[in-house]
Amino acid sequence: MNSSNINFVLNTYLKLDLNCRGKLLINIYKNNVFVNQKCGFTSSCYRYFRTSHEAAQAPLKDGVTVLPTPQEVTITLRKNEFNKEFIQGSVKSYDSNQLASNDPIEDTRSEAMCKQTAGLLMGIFDGHGGPACAQVVSKRLLNYIAAALLPYEQLQTYINEGAPDSLLETFNDKTKMVEDLKYKYSKSFKQYLAELAADDKEINIKTSLEKAIMSLDSDLSKEVVDPYNSDGFINPKTLSVALSGAVACVSHIDGPHLHIANVGDCNAVLGTMTEENEWVAKKITKEHNAENFDELKRIWNEHPDSERKTVIRRDRLLGELAPLRSIGDYRYKWSAELLSKLAVPYIGNKAIPAHYYTPPYLTAMPDIYYHRLTPKDKFLIIASDGLWDMMTPLQAVKLVGEHMKGKVFFNLLKLPKKNIQLGDIDELLVHRKESLKSKPKDKNAATHLIRHAIGGTEYGVDHSRLAHLLSLAPDVSRMFRDDMTVTVAYFDAEFLRQCPS
């Protein structure tokens, strides 16, 4: 790293408060700076500083770093924001946004309404070891879930009609599937439908979510292994998807019924208002990582006692992988023999982790959580760990709650009645002028959270800190923050109030 980069990083470091400095130093110590926080790969394509001596940074003018203006910062923050409103159902609207730290970004998100059954699906997918797995999962998983939710007769009709686009109405879907993989994925999906049709059981949302996630994870492997077994062919694209990985948090909301499927370390948090008008954060999910002792016990019990010191090392699976469950990541699922045939020729001997004795070490089995929504539940936040590394669930809920209150001032003023007196209008305008002080900078709540996650201090958002962190090149940025993807869904209290108990 050259001297100008070093100075820029040090200046950014000094802008942080003591708590954030501590987090950064712990992160560098744990990851030895060069190793991806989640995947453990050490090849050049996964290093933080793969081109640090050439890394772009904030421009220099007469030797002085020129930081982006507040307007330029806002343009950057709002680049990927999206909002969708609904005219019926328990969800009034949702806001989403994401901000990259890695290049390319390894987070993805997807949202869709089920067209043949009831329910809104929203998912956050946090990739590691590259973006390939997260991108593919975000494009395919919601279809797998929608198919698993079809009653038997509807499933048979759907199979006979063969209309894959009729399952979901997707929103903000800008990514396109690679052409040469469309046929392969379509073939896998048809086989998945046949397996669903062979199992004539009553539909259960919990088992449907489990079935969809586990089936897609299995297909990621089959799409590599089957062609190899039949003719010795290995497709580098399907192999890269299988060897990279993704954690996922997916919600299914149908009226007052909220189900969350979680694999890995994304989180879903409910924002609830008490009778005393105080915000409460209800953390629905529990991370699958080394801080979850039940998860550690599960892994220890699945392997011989002789591996107790090697299966979890440095708070990671086999000393490499931070999330203890994920989709893909077949470096920790295939046998050593299969890895030698499929992965070693492409990425070398590092493809087989040290102390790899009794695979599989990893599963994609999700934990499923259920919550019945009430009028007190105002919104749901689903986000990748890039957000939760920077703020607590309660901080996030309070920020969205304050944002809800201030967001009304984005709307035009409407007089409450026709024959209002001039004095009443004057009082209303004075109150509105005073209240405008609480108007947030961003109409989108996800953007509001990201802005505060990066630039927030106990005194509000610090533009200098925000500008510094947004100016870092991807090689350096990853030292300070992860990719962030956030979705905030707002509930209709009146709709929930009328739902039968």
Q: What is the 3-state secondary structure (H, E, C) of 151-164?
A: CHHHHHHHHHHCCH
User: Quick one: pLDDT at residue 162?
Assistant: 72
Specify the 3-state DSSP secondary structure of 45: helix
User: Quick one: pLDDT at residue 200?
Assistant: 75
Tell me what the mean pLDDT of segment 359-386 comes to.
Answer: 98
What are the residue boundaries of the structural domains of the chain, listed by start?
A: 132-243, 289-322+327-363
The reply to whether omega before 104 is within 30° of 0 (cis) is yes
Q: What is the pLDDT of residues 130-141, one digit of tens each?
A: 999 999 999 999
CA distance 454 to 104: 19
**H helix runs in 293-365, sequence order:** 293-301, 308-311, 336-342, 344-347
Alpha-carbon torsion 192, 194, 198, 200, what sign?
positive
Type and span of the H or E element at 491? strand 484-491
CA 166 to chain centre: 26
Burial class (CB in 10 A: 0-12, 13-18, 19+), 153: exposed
Specify the 3-state DSSP secondary structure of 272: strand
**Residues 6 or more apart whose Cβ sits within 8 Å of residue 55:** 1, 5, 49, 473, 474, 475, 476
CA distance 413 to 409: 8
CA distance 51 to 452: 30
Mean pLDDT estimate for the chain = 87
- More confident call, 215 vs 48: 215
Per-position b or e across 279-292, b if 16+ CB within 10 A of its CB: bbbebbbebbbbee
CA 334 to chain centre: 25
The count of residues in the chain is 501
- Number of separate helices (H) and strands (E) present in the chain: 19, 19
Can you give the pTM of this predicted structure?
0.86
Percent of the chain at pLDDT above 70?
A: 82
Instruction: Give the confidence band of 256 by pLDDT, cuts at 50, 70, 90.
Output: very high
